[in-house]
């Protein structure tokens, strides 16, 4: 799992979604050529070209009208999703309606938005609107047994990368059960009803590629699980209300609206203030906001910096927030720049004072226990220290005292990030580094230069089994420490929400 985390962590989330969808398109084309899929290759190619061109052009037009830089990859993903929702065709009139729904879907991101944040999944709302007009209707032809293996693999990778597996599996299991029951009530044998649910409905595709869209999800895990349950029921149970009738896209649109009501209902405009070197390889970037930023200590923020020549990292990245909620007008993020930074990090480093960036999302469940009497163990690797700084600063500001110990592993002694803050806060630190620092405070212990093993943690923190463990850092470290703590029989282990820094 650590290797998978490291591999997927190198691929930006939007790029992974577009690659997974493209792979399913390729599988569909191959199956069409060999006669397994019941659509002509030319119809597939004509529909694919129509939705992609329409989405990209509409996105550029809307970006010009709203005076923003277009996010091309987002429009490509919308086009790929729509490709699987409508019948492939070579008929000119039908292709025009497909082009229309693509334009509607893209326009919805700009028109059906609240303070810079779109409310609905574009492909889903586009399908709902075009169905209401009577010009076309979605068929979700992706829900076919011959495509299920490719869809399942792609959905699993996306859900795992975005850390939405619990939500996705909740939806898939509940929708499968309810669809099976409904089909059985219609007279279908139970095994056949189960096969129908998994192989002939788009529930796996919906869960992996549409329900999981971060900007249309509520911020907390329990809220996402509830949302998955509601969407699953709307997806599975037949109903009709006036011109509306049960469909995957309607179920998702209703879920999007509910998520909007409980989540952060606007995008944020942040003003860049300054950058400060934390270590030779890491930098802290400080932003200010005129509006208070609502977040909890340990949560993350997605920053958007459109720039030319974007590489595979894309124009959006997620970072743990290092500042405390007690100062809601300031957002600090610690970033490891490395020797060969991505185009996004180069754009971040080139920001000028007062330059604005967008923050599209604040969410996460990497939160310390509300009951401060519970002892905790914090394990950080490198820049994985950032969410802990937010939590420690928040506790200090709130006057909260915990039985807490931080085990911090760094590659070199000069990579000790936030050492001044940890010293000021009086945190008990166990440091794992190539060599011992010249001076250690009374509450700090040097644990040697070896690997961060379970034996080392148990030696330095003898009561580790009685603590709730929180682990943050690079994917390999998080995976290895999680495994080591499980072997030590630590009862509860919480890991940082995102792979890669």
Running DSSP on this structure, what letter comes out for residue 382? Answer: G
Q: Do 484 and 460 form a contact (C-beta atoms < 8 A)?
A: no
**HEC-encoded secondary structure of 454-482:** HHHHHHHCCCHHHCEEEEECCHHHHHHHH
Nearest-angstrom CA–CA distance, 261 and 257: 6
Domains and CATH numbers, the chain: 2-262 (no CATH), 268-363 (2.40.30.10), 376-495 (3.40.50.80)
Say if CB 158 and CB 80 are below 8 A apart. no
Measured CA to CA, the distance from residue 19 to residue 153 in angstroms comes to 12
DSSP 82: H
pLDDT exceeds 50 at position 237: yes
- Residue 496 confidence (pLDDT) above 70: yes
Residues above pLDDT 70, as percent of the chain: 96
Instruction: Say yes or no to pLDDT of 500 above 80.
Output: no
Q: Give the mean model confidence (pLDDT) for residues 283-294.
A: 94
Report the phi/psi class of residue 19: left, alpha or beta, with left for phi > 0 and alpha for psi in -120 to 50: alpha
Residues 98 and 39: beta-carbon distance below 8 Å: no
Residue range 184-197: average pLDDT? 95
Sequence-distant (6+) residues with CB within 8 A of 310 are 343, 344
pLDDT at 373: 95
Q: Is the pLDDT of residue 85 over 60?
A: yes
Report whether 372 contacts 394 (CB < 8 A). Answer: no
Nearest to 337 by CA among 345, 329, 348: 345
SS3 190: helix
In the structure, what pLDDT confidence band is assigned to residue 395 with cuts at 50, 70 and 90? very high
Q: Which helix (H) or strand (E) holds 64?
A: helix 41-66
The whole-number pLDDT of residue 264 equals 57
CA distances for 339 relative to 182, 336, 346, 434, 441, angstroms: 57, 10, 11, 20, 31
How sure is the predictor about 73, in pLDDT bands with cuts at 50, 70 and 90? confident
Residues 86-131 have pLDDT tens digits of: 999 999 999 999 999 999 999 999 999 876 678 999 999 999 999 9
- Mean pLDDT value across residues 50-67: 95
- What is the pLDDT at residue 263? 67
Q: Which bin fits 473, alpha (ψ -120 to 50), beta or left (φ > 0)?
A: left
Residue 497 pLDDT > 60, yes or no?
no
pTM to 2 decimal places: 0.83
Phi, psi of 378 (to 5 degrees): -105, 130
Whether the per-residue pLDDT at 266 is higher than 80: the answer is no
For the ranges 185-199, 290-304, 438-452, the lowest mean pLDDT is seen at 438-452
Distance, in Å, from the CA atom of 343 to the CA atom of 460, rounded to the nearest integer, reads 40
Q: Is the pLDDT of residue 242 over 90?
A: no
What are the backbone dihedrals phi and psi of residue 388, each rounded to the nearest 5 degrees, phi first? -70, -35
Kindly indicate the confidence band of residue 6, based on its pLDDT and cuts at 50, 70 and 90. Answer: low
- pLDDT surpasses 50 at 13: yes
| Weakest mean pLDDT among 70-79, 189-198, 382-391 | 70-79
Neighbours of 322 (CB within 10 A): 27
Mean of pLDDT over the chain: 91
């Amino acid at each position: 799992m650590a290797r998978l985390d490291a591999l997927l962590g190198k691929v930006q989330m939007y790029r992974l979604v577009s690659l997974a969808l493209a792979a399913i398109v390729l599988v569909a084309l191959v199956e069409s050529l060999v006669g397994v899929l019941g659509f002509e290759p030319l119809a597939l190619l004509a529909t694919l070209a129509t939705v992609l061109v329409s989405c990209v052009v509409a996105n550029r037009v809307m970006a010009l009208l709203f005076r923003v830089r277009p996010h091309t990859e987002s429009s490509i993903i919308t086009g790929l999703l729509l490709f699987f929702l409508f019948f492939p065709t070579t008929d000119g009139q039908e292709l025009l309606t497909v082009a229309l729904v693509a334009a509607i879907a893209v326009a919805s991101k700009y028109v059906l938005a609240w303070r810079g944040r779109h409310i609905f999944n574009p492909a889903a709302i586009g399908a709902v609107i075009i169905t209401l007009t009577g010009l076309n209707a979605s068929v979700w032809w992706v829900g076919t047994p011959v495509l299920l293996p490719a869809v399942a693999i792609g959905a699993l990778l996306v859900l795992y990368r975005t850390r939405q597996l619990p939500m996705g599996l909740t939806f898939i299991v509940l929708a499968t059960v309810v669809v099976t029951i409904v089909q059985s009530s219609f007279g279908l044998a139970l095994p056949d009803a189960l096969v129908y649910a998994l192989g002939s409905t788009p529930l796996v595709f919906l869960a992996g590629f549409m329900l999981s869209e971060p900007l249309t999800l509520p911020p907390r895990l329990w809220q996402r699980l509830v949302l998955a349950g509601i969407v699953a029921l709307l997806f599975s149970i037949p109903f009709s209300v006036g011109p509306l009738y049960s469909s995957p896209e309607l179920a998702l649109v209703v879920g999007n609206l509910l998520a909007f009501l409980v989540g952060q209902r606007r995008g944020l405009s942040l003003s860049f203030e300054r950058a400060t070197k934390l270590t030779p390889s890491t930098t802290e970037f400080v932003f200010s906001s005129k509006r208070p930023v609502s977040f909890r200590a340990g949560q993350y923020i997605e920053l958007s910096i459109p720039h030319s020549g974007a590489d595979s990292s894309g124009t959006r990245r997620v970072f743990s927030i290092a500042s405390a909620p007690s100062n809601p007008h300031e957002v600090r993020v610690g970033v490891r720049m490395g020797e060969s930074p991505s185009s996004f990090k180069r754009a971040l480093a080139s920001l000028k004072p007062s330059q604005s960036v967008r923050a599209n999302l604040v969410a996460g469940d990497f939160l310390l226990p509300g009951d401060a009497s519970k002892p905790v163990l914090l394990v950080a690797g490198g820049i994985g220290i950032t969410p802990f700084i937010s939590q420690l600063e928040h506790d200090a500001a709130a006057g909260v005292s915990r039985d807490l110990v931080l085990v911090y592993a760094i590659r070199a002694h000069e990579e000790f990030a936030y050492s001044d803050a940890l010293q000021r806060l009086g945190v008990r630190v166990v440091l794992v580094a190539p060599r011992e620092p010249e001076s250690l405070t009374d509450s700090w212990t040097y644990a040697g230069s070896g690997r961060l093993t379970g034996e080392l943690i148990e030696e330095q923190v003898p009561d580790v089994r009685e603590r709730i463990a929180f682990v943050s850092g690079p994917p390999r470290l998080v995976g290895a420490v999680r495994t080591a703590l499980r072997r030590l029989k630590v009862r509860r282990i919480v890991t940082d929400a995102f792979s890669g820094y």
